[in-house]
Amino acid sequence: MYLKNLVKIRKKKGWSQEKLAREANISYNTLIKIERNGIENPKIETVIKLADALNVTIDDLVGRKNK
C-alpha cells in the first residue's frame, strides 16, 4: 500500500516528519522509510496511526477516490 498523499497532507498541516512520528507514535526512521517509499507495504497498524494523527482517512492517504 503506497501512501502517495502522506507527504502532501503532512506538509499541508505544517508538520515536520519528527512531529508526525511523535503524534502517530511511530519511529522517525519508519516514517522516513515510508515517505521515501522504502516501505511499500507498511503495517496496517502504522497506517491507522498515521491517518489518526493527521485526522484523515486511509483512503485519503492512499489517494483512493470515493465511489
Taking only the tens place, the pLDDT of each residue in 9-40 is 999 999 999 999 999 999 999 999 999 877 87
Summarised one tens digit per residue, pLDDT across range 39-62 is 878 999 999 999 999 999 999 998
CA 5 – CA 8 distance, rounded (Å) = 5
CA 42 – CA 19 distance, rounded (Å) = 19
* Location of C-alpha cell 477516490: 65
Written as nine digits, the cell of 54 is 493527521
pTM: 0.90
Domain 6-61, CATH homologous superfamily name and number: lambda repressor-like DNA-binding domains (1.10.260.40)
Under 8 Å between Cβ of 61 and 35:
no
* Residue 17: closest CA among 2, 34, 31, 3: 31
Domain boundaries along the sequence of the chain? 6-61
